[in-house]
Chains A and B, each alone.
Chain A
Amino acid sequence: MSVTAIRPGYHGDMKDTVDKFHANQILGISWDKHLMYATPMCIPVPPQMPFGALVEQVLPTLFGQHPQFAQIDWSKAEWLRSDEPFTPAFDKSLADNGIGHKAYIRFRTPGLEGLSGASI
């Protein structure tokens, strides 16, 4: 399906292409079963940032307040990229991990399923 407009050739501007983000790309990120964070987050990141740096330096600033965060064993964490499982290489860049502009990743931490049995 496509839009029906008064003349052929109708197209909106691509408002959020990567060139508009000052050398960053944006990344959607969510920690499954931890609904204390009621929504996924969206952050700007340099595409060359190593995946390991994302985990070690960025994620604590996003999720560090959660009591289970410190308990995460990252070697057991499960990752999804565009809702499909994938195995990130921590030493490679986001770009080299196939995490491009406006990518969306989720992680799961088996054994750490949120607080009070209510996925908080």
Chain B
Amino acid sequence: MTVEIRTQAIKPLRNTFGHIARRFGEKTASRYQEGTYDLQTETNRHYKPLWEPELDIYDKRRTAVQMKDWYALKDPRQFYYGSYTIARAKQQDALDRQMDFAEKRELLRSLPEAAQQTILFALVPLRHYEWGANMNQCYAASYGWGAAITQAAMLGAMDRLGNAQHLSRIGLLVDGNTGHSLAQAKDTWLTHPDWQPIRREVERSFVTRDWFELLVAQTLIADGLVYPLFYQQVDAWMARRHGVGLATVLDHMMRWQDETAKWVDAVIKTAVAESPENRALIQGWAQQWRGAFLNALSPLAEAVMGADGAAALAAVNTALGARLAKLGLEA
């Protein structure tokens, strides 16, 4: 085709969009950059929200944190919808194979009853915790400012739904697809005394109005304690007693958390470094929620791991402290 031959030599007039070039220079930009930066409308708003007339539809005042440029809160994974979805499809494919293997070999159903009871008591109720996390990330994605942070928060919200459904599948692996495990786990979540403190904190997060505080509470503090406690400490505790059958299906959760923590840490670190005011705010939130979740998890750790519970939780808390210190917060 003559056209194609001719066009090989044609130099483009510009390499990217104007707003991208102003940020990163007049050069070819990545799909993450073109698909993310300056995507949220900034000005010339038309109507006052019927649901919050005191503020604008998008409004920086929905958090006390202040940023000169909210797009500084970028995602180090550079997830836009396409790269995110393709990555998750691939991971899900691998996970499906693990789950399939676990089902065929009855890895969970062949565990002793006590081990199964631990799974149903300690892990399956966390599907409700994940649903709560979904709601909270969705909140940040709704009321946050700028496509960089809200995009990552929303893709994360979908991850939380996926995690909730994965935990549900673990329950179904145990109960042979009857769904009894899910009913039991919900009852545990709603009524078991050792689970009530954490449910209380999750419900408190639902009425937290500052979306950045909520991100700190959920993704940095709560997840920073819950994930290593259950998917490392409990997982290891179970492996010592009953072998690694459970680990084959639980491994996914901690991998997910390790990946997501890269985003969380980048966001928090950047916001903390922006100003002493931001640092003080985030420090206050981190401290307050950390105390609350530690207290809430304490009876649960003990209920699951008995005498080992307190040490496990302490180890998790120490690790969180080290992580906070790296982000510019108090350990």
Contact = CB atoms under 8 A, between A and B. Distances in A.
Nearest to A6: B51
B50 A10 contact: yes
Contacts of A3: 50
A12 interface: yes
Contacts, number: 18
A7 B55 CA distance: 13
B53 interface: yes
Contact of B47 (A4, A6, A12): A12
Interface in B23-59: 47-48, 50-53
Contacts of A4: 50
A38 interface: no
A14 interface: no
Interface residues of A, number: 9
Interface string A6-39: 1100111100000000000000000000000000
A70 interface: no
B50 A12 contact: no
B52 A6 contact: yes
A5 interface: yes
Nearest to A9: B53
A2 B53 CA distance: 15
Interface residues on B, range: under 10
A117 B51 CA distance: 52
A69 B50 CA distance: 48
B45 to A, nearest CB: 10
Nearest to A3: B50
A6 B53 CA distance: 8
A74 to B, nearest CB: 40
A12 B48 contact: yes
Interface in A46-98: none
A10 B48 contact: yes
Contacts of B47: 12
Interface in B50-71: 50-53
Interface in B251-278: none
A3 B48 CA distance: 12
A4 B50 CA distance: 7
Nearest to B48: A12
A38 to B, nearest CB: 25
A28 B51 CA distance: 34
Contacts of B48: 10-13
Interface string B220-260: 00000000000000000000000000000000000000000
Interface string B118-160: 0000000000000000000000000000000000000000000
A55 to B, nearest CB: 35
Contacts of A6: 50-53
A13 B48 CA distance: 9
Nearest to A12: B48
Nearest to B47: A12
A3 B53 CA distance: 12
Interface of A: 3-7, 10-13
18 contacts: A3-B50, A4-B50, A5-B50, A5-B51, A5-B53, A6-B50, A6-B51, A6-B52, A6-B53, A7-B53, A10-B48, A10-B50, A10-B53, A11-B48, A11-B53, A12-B47, A12-B48, A13-B48
Give 10 closest A-B pairs by Cβ, nearest first: A5-B50, A10-B53, A6-B51, A12-B48, A5-B53, A6-B50, A12-B47, A10-B50, A3-B50, A10-B48
Given A11-B48, A12-B47, A12-B48, 15 more contacts: A3-B50, A4-B50, A5-B50, A5-B51, A5-B53, A6-B50, A6-B51, A6-B52, A6-B53, A7-B53, A10-B48, A10-B50, A10-B53, A11-B53, A13-B48
